[in-house]
Structure 1
């Protein structure tokens, strides 16, 4: 192959990546806007009609039926279950399974039902899964070369995340960082970056959706004492991420075992538990996205154990088979815990809320680079030094735990762990119990 042919091939491949990324971003940005607007509307309706929470167990049966009836497909003798949610997307990136093209519509419907009846969940999970679903459709429609299929799935993830949060740079990196703990596939940067930016601008510029903003009003001065406080808080936030991940997985595994993976029975029980907890709480502050209290955590005191309530509500909601997203609930837990500790640590309230939001996400998702970029985009570069430290510390000290058991471990975070390269979070958990 001569030089001209090499350049021609290079630009042909590059143009394909840009085209596929732009196409995915355009479609995902549009459907994500529909998700965001509809989700907000349904949440508002539920808040005005508090009695709807009583129907959550029925909603669980409906969601369970949809996933059991339409969410399972065998391809090459391998079960591809949409009920695995982001874990199926991660397995698809690794080439182990396939994202179902129907997965997007299913998770949208499931998310709407969960939100409308008061489940405690976010919405970005649906955006990511829809993004992967659209990417799989592009793979099929254009008969994308096998070597590029994984990158196209990653660009779908990027488009969904970037469009859902209004953070295109974070979205681009998140798509590359989500599947493998401690490794970035930089070859996917072009389609992921294009998809995330196009998705973001389609949502905000074309459809004029406005994302929520969280403002840091004060950042502490750089000093040794301040950094020591940030280190301590980052350790606490990493423990928070571990606690949530472990409880959520324990509930999922336990209900799967008791009900023999019957999604309807699991979700029905989960719905009943959430109704009971809501009655005990005396309000619906911890149902849905709980955005009101999340925003309040940056400006005034919130109940000191709000983070724990949200942790329990969300772990039960998602652990019993309801669907949605985990990022916003993680944001809430971290921000409200930071708010609760600000008077003890003597750091600005809004700063500690922001630190908790980002650090808890870094530890739970095992995506420290994406979490750091999230802080840059979400808080406009304020406190950059502190967020960098917090993301790394939370990531390291959260160990081999995380939101998604299918996430692969490129290499262990420490030599103290007897893990081999390529292990998964799920296998790491099993080895600890042996």
Structure 2
């Protein structure tokens, strides 16, 4: 009973703090996105904004530059600490990235802010190393659940994202409570989330099951392509440009030249309008490839933000394209692609399956779960979070990789 009361108290405190931070972040993103769309000339300064972000992290945030990987590493080694400065740094970096037209998301920022905020409470609550690990898992759940308005998915994401193939049930109650309370706090600050709808979901049958498996394979391959691509281009920027603050200048230059050449802003920022359109209107079949390119250049160069909302865009756009070949409803393919590419790139199939139900309703649950699990298996031991550890290998022939970080696995 004392254990439950203790974690109710801790979860309430960090949930309110993290939910409030997420609300501030979401309001800020709405403001800068609307401002950019009505003042498109501001995008010309994206390279200069990149230099600002690069200098900010080079001189004040070298430890925090690891981002989500620092949080994952600290969960594995809770004797480490997360510097509080990571919260304001990633907030400023992400808002500036979106203001000037970078292609990035929001999950990474929300999770990093959550981890930095929660770490402050280790000492006041006199937490042991194991309790500190639980605290950071709960903080991750709170950040994710509140920024997307999906508290159940947030709770499971916090349990899944740092250890592939295993869940730590001792963190389940804190993760669930923190995520729900953070979501309530975000809503109390009147921060709104985008609503999506799948207009028609057919009855499950052998035929639709087979089509869903085929789609899941495509989503998994896309997740691998994105994960390997972003790691490769990040390494390329580091090897070719030795001075870190200059990398986002070059990346920003590439992005604005591409936007100018294509004469569209569809593939910068969060891309929410295109995601919404993908459920009901046919996009160009290569839209997902363009979003992959814009996002990889933006984030690999050193701009800040998450990968997840771009992955939503990529998955929904790929599902939209697959509707030209796979006889399932466009909205359903876009919806399951939305979560399945994310599942493959982050190795979190259960959280993504639950997220589909929270966002689109229970009717698509079976389809989403199948696609997410197939994508997760197809992606193998790859992913966007290099410090994820293999807790339980996906396939028997990879048992020797148990306990390794995925950035240590070479094939």
Normalising TM by the smaller chain, what interval?
over 0.9
Deviation at 1:64, TM superposition (A): 0.8
Structure 1, residues 29-72: CA drift from partner, whole Å, max 9, x if none? 01100100110110110111111111111111111111111113
Q: Counterpart in 2 of 1:299?
A: 280
Instruction: State the match for 2:349 in structure 1.
Output: 368
Alignment check: 8 A CA contact 1:407 1:425 kept: yes
Alpha-carbon distance, 1:159 to partner: 0.6
How far is the alpha carbon of 1:12 from its aligned partner?
Answer: 2.4
Secondary structure of 2:71's aligned partner: helix
Q: How far apart in 1 are the matches of 2:144 and 2:82? A: 17
Q: Which stretch of the first structure deviates more once superposed, 376-385 or 232-241?
A: 376-385
The CA distance in 2 between the partners of 1:384 and 1:220, in whole Å, is 12
Task: Indicate whether 1:110 and 2:110 are aligned.
Answer: no
Compute the displacement of 1:418 (Å): 6.2
1:61-108 residue CA offsets vs partner (Å, 9 max, x unmatched): 111111111113xxxxxxxx2111100110011016431111111100
Quote the offset at 1:143 in angstroms. 2.8
- Mapped to 2, the partners of 1:305 and 1:23 lie a distance apart of 45
Counterpart residue number, 1:318: 299
* Matches for 1:23-422 after TM superposition, within 5 Å: 23-72=13-62, 81-95=63-77, 97-204=80-187, 206-260=188-242, 262-417=243-398, 419-422=400-403
Unaligned runs of 5+ in 2: none
> What RMSD in Å do the two structures reach over aligned CA positions?
1.2
1:141 and 1:266 mapped to 2: Cα distance?
A: 40
Deviation at 1:135, TM superposition (A): 0.9
Which whole-Å CA distance do the structure 2 matches of 1:46 and 1:143 have between them? 45
CA distance in 1, matches of 2:108, 2:388: 15
Q: Distance in 2 between matches of 1:238 and 1:130?
A: 29
The whole-number CA distance in structure 2 between the counterparts of 1:99 and 1:286 is: 33
| Kept in 2: contact 1:155–1:192 (CA 8 A) | yes
**Alignment TM-score, normalising by the size of structure 2:** 0.98
Measure the CA separation in 2 of the matches of 1:65 and 1:418: 42
Q: What displacement does 1:411 show?
A: 2.5
Alpha-carbon separation, structure 2, partners of 1:124 and 1:397: 23
Unaligned runs of 5+ in 1: 1-10, 73-80
| C-alpha separation in 2, matches of 1:405 and 1:246 | 11
Cα deviation, 1:148-186, whole Å, max 9, x if unaligned, reads 001101111111001001100111111111101111111
Q: 1:319-350 CA distances to partner (integer Å, 9 max, x unpaired)?
A: 11111111110000010111112131121110
Task: Encode CA deviations 1:207-262: one digit per residue, 9 max, x unaligned.
Answer: 122210110000122111111100001000101111111111111111112223x3
Higher-Rg structure is: 1
TM-score by length of 1: 0.92
The alpha-carbon deviation at position 416 of structure 1 amounts to: 2.9
Post-superposition CA distance 1:399-423 (Å, at most 9, x none): 1110111000112211233633110
1:15 CA displacement: 1.6
Aligned partners of 1:91 and 1:98 also within 8 Å: no
CA separation in 2, counterparts of 1:276 and 1:245? 24
Q: Could you tell me how far apart the structure 2 residues matched to 1:123 and 1:98 are?
A: 23
CA contact (8 A) 1:88 1:98 kept: no
